[in-house]
Amino acid sequence: MKFSILTALTAIVGSAAAANQAVVTNDCSGTIYVQSWPYNGGAPGPLVTLKPGQKFSENLRSTGS
């Protein structure tokens, strides 16, 4: 299950990059958690809880999303 979530997130983030948005849709049967982690050591974004069918999106940041 972790592999399928990672694969889905990679595909979603890759296609969303052109739109300057990071988008995550929970197509799993259970709750997932999403959090931005900047690559340069900056402060992480808030932890977001997504129930099945919910979506999360945020603008891409220059420090990483």
What is this structure's pTM? 0.61
Query: Do 56 and 23 touch, CB atoms closer than 8 A?
Result: yes
pLDDT at 13: 60
30-61: per-residue pLDDT in tens?
999 999 888 787 888 899 999 999 999 998 87
pLDDT at 18: 55
- Residue in 11, 63, 18 with CA at minimum distance from that of residue 42: 63
Sign of the alpha-carbon dihedral angle for 58, 35, 61, 18: negative
Query: Do 34 and 48 touch, CB atoms closer than 8 A?
Result: yes
Strand, helix or coil at 12? helix
